[in-house]
Amino acid sequence: MKKAAACALYELRTYSLRLDRMAAFLRETERLFHLRTQQSPVLGYWTSELGGLHQVVHLWPYESLSHRASVRAALASDTTWLQEYVGPVLNPAVLGQDNLLMRPLETTSVTAPTGPGVTELLQLSLTGPESDWSPPLLQVAAEVGEAAPDHTLVGCFRSVIGPANSAVLLTHYPSQEALLKAAEGRRLNTACECWNSIDCRAAQNWPA
């Protein structure tokens, strides 16, 4: 694992895919993904395994919304990207898209996941001001994976645009068994009054 370059904003994108198109989508995405990453780097790309099926989840760092807009404009004018990937690969496979614009919590860093393994996406719906929920959330981040010492916290984020008042913890584990052990062993206080709900998903690092 290595520390990612500090960025102000991170976009978490989720694509829901047609089951009969998923294998071809992943195959062609692996072949053509350089067309996307030549415009801006990706921090992580995952295929859903537990808690959500037939999905891909990817995390993109940006310096600002202006930086993101310039990347999107460059892609929109890239005829190779449009004709070889968006038209024949992306459009026929994707049933729906969601995104969440996030910032890392203060005092936290972002680490790029590398190598095989599985990443847990823990999304919490929050109430009250950030000063109320940030300390217990940082405590959860410190405790995530306590039962699995070889875990790596990818990042601890708060939402900026998208579902309001939500936070996301991304944690990398070497295997599904390590993730399960950590999930069962952590002291996640689901009764905390500042947390309305918790959504947990596990996604396989891609390419595996």
- What are 48-68's pLDDT values in tens digits? 888 888 999 999 999 999 999
Residues 78 and 161 in one domain: no
pLDDT tens for each residue of 107-116? 788 988 877 8
CB 21 within 8 A of CB 176: no
What is the rounded average pLDDT of the residues 78-90? 97
Residues 20 and 45 in one domain: yes
Interacting residues of 43 by C-beta distance below 8 A, sequence separation 6+:
4, 10, 59, 60, 61, 110, 112, 113, 154
What is the rounded average pLDDT of the residues 35-47? 94
pLDDT score for 191? 44
> Is the pLDDT score of 129 beyond 70?
yes
Boundary-marking domain end, from 69, 101, 133: 101
- What is the span of the domain harbouring residue 107? 103-205
- Write down the pTM of the prediction: 0.88
H-helix or E-strand containing 201?
strand 195-205
What CATH number should be reported for the domain holding residue 109? 3.30.70.100
Domain count, the chain: 2
- Check residues 69 and 145 and name the one with the higher pLDDT: 69
Residues 108 and 96 in one domain: no
Residues 131 and 184 in one domain: yes
Residues 86 and 139 in one domain: no
Boundary-marking domain end, from 101, 129, 153: 101
Boundary-marking domain end, from 101, 135, 157: 101
Residues 112 and 42 in one domain: no
Q: How far apart are CA 31 and CA 25, in angstroms?
A: 10
Q: How far apart are CA 72 and CA 197, in angstroms?
A: 33
